[in-house]
């Protein structure tokens, strides 16, 4: 187990161990001595457009050439970290402009189809161009290493990053160090998972129905119920727009029905 792991992470690992021990009838003996750590269900944060610009600029200058593409895709598809890291080219359909998610945290999330908006399609097309010999089974973000090379131009003494040891048959290990450096450079404090939270928040604020958002996010039925409570305040604006639509004139005559009456007559009012 990693040092400084979050209580929730520790509890998840203990839960897995508990399931194994229960199956082998060994859990009962140690159960009194095991206590789960207190953890909170962190809501997360949605970054602003200004923070996004700062982060993306920092990611572009990162030694990790894949970080910028991964962050843009996270913001525009709401895919989880692991879903992006393990993405293969066979899951990307440029013609249909969609990505089929592979293995996921939830059963509902696995295999879901996420449409690619113009921004996501553009960055994926550019990224694909860097791998002209890519195969369907290759990873979109392959394992690779980075080094520093001496420039041989007028800027003698300066260095630049270069990529080597690329293995498309293996996924990238992680973006942890590159992501941390980019956040520091941008002066923005957030988690990679907050990019997913940001996309979800923006869709709901735009009035997208919760059921559609849930399908894109890949939430299980139980998670959807929990998220409905968590993001309920964001849906208030969409609900207000929905009921306001009921006040639209029923015809071009400008006649609006008084809400206290179901038909014309004394309750009929003429709009000014």
Residues 163, 182 contacting (CB under 8 angstroms)? no
Q: Which helix (H) or strand (E) holds 267?
A: none
Integer CA distances (angstroms), 197 to 74, 82, 167, 213, in order = 10, 15, 31, 11
Dihedral over Cα of 143, 140, 199, 103: its sign? negative
* Residue 163: pLDDT over 60: yes
Phi first, then psi, for residue 113 (nearest 5°) are -105, 125
The alpha carbon of residue 244 and the mean position of all alpha carbons in its chain are separated, in whole angstroms, by 31
Strands (E), the chain: 92-93, 98-100, 113-115, 142-150, 159-171, 255-257, 268-270
pLDDT digits (tens, 9 = 90+) for 237-261: 666 777 887 886 655 555 545 544 5
Whole-angstrom Cα distance, residue 54 to residue 185? 8
Can you count the helices (H) and strands (E) in the chain?
11, 7
Q: pLDDT at position 49, please?
A: 95
The pLDDT, as a whole number, for residue 25 is: 86
**Rounded distance, CA 205 to CA 215, Å?**
17
- What is the C-alpha to C-alpha distance for residues 116 and 114, in angstroms, rounded to an integer? 6
Cα gap 230→161, rounded to integer Å: 43
Most confident among 35-49, 144-158, 239-253 (mean pLDDT): 35-49
Mean pLDDT comparison of 36-50, 98-112, 209-223, highest-scoring range: 209-223
Q: Would you state the pLDDT for residue 6?
A: 62
Whose tokens are 């003996």? That residue is: 29
Does 261 or 113 have the greater pLDDT score?
113
- The reported pLDDT for the residue numbered 272 is 47
Average pLDDT, the chain: 82
Helix (H) / strand (E) containing 182: helix 176-186
User: Does residue 199 contact residue 168 with C-beta atoms inside 8 Å?
Assistant: no
pLDDT of res. 9 = 66
Residues linked to residue 255 through DSSP beta bridges, in sequence order: 270
């Amino acid at each position: 187990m990693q040092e400084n792991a979050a209580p929730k992470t520790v509890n998840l690992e203990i839960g897995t161990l508990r399931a194994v021990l229960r199956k082998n009838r060994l859990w009962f003996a140690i159960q009194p001595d095991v206590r789960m750590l207190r953890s909170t269900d962190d809501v997360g944060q949605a970054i602003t457009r200004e923070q996004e610009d700062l982060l993306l600029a920092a990611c572009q200058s990162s030694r990790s050439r894949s970080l910028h593409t991964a962050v843009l895709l996270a913001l525009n598809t709401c895919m989880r970290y692991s879903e992006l890291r393990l993405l293969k080219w066979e899951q990307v359909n440029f013609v249909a402009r969609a990505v089929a998610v592979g293995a996921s945290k939830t059963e509902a999330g696995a295999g879901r189809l996420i449409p690619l908006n113009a921004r996501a399609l553009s960055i994926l097309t550019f990224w694909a161009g860097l791998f002209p010999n890519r195969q369907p089974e290759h990873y979109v973000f392959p394992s690779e290493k980075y080094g520093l090379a001496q420039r041989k131009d007028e800027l003698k003494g300066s260095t630049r990053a270069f990529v080597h040891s690329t293995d498309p048959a293996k996924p990238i290990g992680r973006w942890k160090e590159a992501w941390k450096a980019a956040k520091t450079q941008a002066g923005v404090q957030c988690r990679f998972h907050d990019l997913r939270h940001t996309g979800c928040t923006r869709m709901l604020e735009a009035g997208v129905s919760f059921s559609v958002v849930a399908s894109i996010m890949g939430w299980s039925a139980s998670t959807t119920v929990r998220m409905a409570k968590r993001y309920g305040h964001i849906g208030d604006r969409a609900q207000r727009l929905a009921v306001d639509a009921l006040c639209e004139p029923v015809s071009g005559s400008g006649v609006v029905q008084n809400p206290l009456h179901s038909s014309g007559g004394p309750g009929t009012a003429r709009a000014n």
